[in-house]
Amino acid sequence: MFQEYVEKAYEVRLTVIGNMFFPVTIRSQDADATRIDWRGWNEMSYGDYHPLPDDLVKKVQTLLTELDLVYAALDFIVTPDGEYVFLEVNPNGQFIWMDTDLQLPMADCMADLLAAGGPLRRGDAIQVGY
């Protein structure tokens, strides 16, 4: 299986912990080494915070409900035209690097989720910026 090449303006790593959504903009097009794949690069270049479009949030909620996931890391390409292209959902994706670099409360949210034994995406999604 091959993935089609998609022109990128930037990429988004969305981490979902319960009903908390952490969309992080990754400026992968700033360096030749990260234009195709930013993973494994030591120096991450983050862009400004952009909340996800409401329709995309609803699609992610539906997907995670169907997959029965309360935690997931999802990757998207955002095209120069502003279209979000879904790449993958990872049920055990890494997040501490973003928590640390951007001072996001991801680890705290994960600890709260584990201590409470849930929730299973009750209520509206809450997007957290940086």
Name the E strands within the chain. 10-17, 20-26, 71-78, 84-90, 126-127
Residue 3 falls inside a structural domain? no
Residue 88 falls inside a structural domain? yes
Identify the pLDDT of residue 3.
Answer: 78
- Count of structural domains within the chain: 1
User: Residue 34's domain spans which residues?
Assistant: 10-127
Identify the pLDDT of residue 114.
Answer: 86
Identify the pLDDT of residue 4.
Answer: 84
Name the E strands within 18-113. 20-26, 71-78, 84-90
> Residue 121 is part of a domain; what is its CATH number?
3.30.470.20
Please, is 50 exposed, middle or buried when counting C-beta atoms within 10 Å of its C-beta (0-12, 13-18, 19+)?
middle
Render each residue's pLDDT in the chain as its tens digit; 130 residues: 787 889 999 999 999 999 999 999 998 777 766 666 766 666 677 888 889 999 999 999 999 999 989 999 999 999 999 999 999 999 999 999 888 889 999 999 999 888 887 655 556 788 888 7
Residue 18 falls inside a structural domain? yes
111-130 burial: b if 16+ Cβ within 10 Å, else e: eebeeeeeeebeeebebbee
Identify the pLDDT of residue 47.
Answer: 82
Residue 4 falls inside a structural domain? no
